[in-house]
Structure 1
Amino acid sequence: MDIENLDTDPRCQTKRECWRCDATRQAEGDWYYARQDGEDSFAVQPSQKPIPANGIAVVHYASSGSAMLAADVPGLCRVLSDNGWLLVLQALERNICAIKVTGGNITLRHVTVLSTIEEYNQMTKLGRFYIDETIRPLTHNGGGM
Structure 2
Amino acid sequence: MQSTAKSIEAYLEEIPEERKIAFTKLRETILENIPNGFVEQMSYGMIGYVVPHSIYPNSYHCNSKLPLPFIALASQKNCIVLYHMGIYANDSLLNWFINEYPKHSTQKLDMGKSCIRFKKMNQIPFELIAELAQKISVQEWISCYESSLKK
TM-score after normalising by structure 1: 0.33
| Greater percentage in strand | 1
| Greater percentage in helix | 2
Task: Point out which structure has higher relative CO (alpha carbons under 8 A, 6+ apart).
Answer: 1
TM-score after normalising by structure 2: 0.32
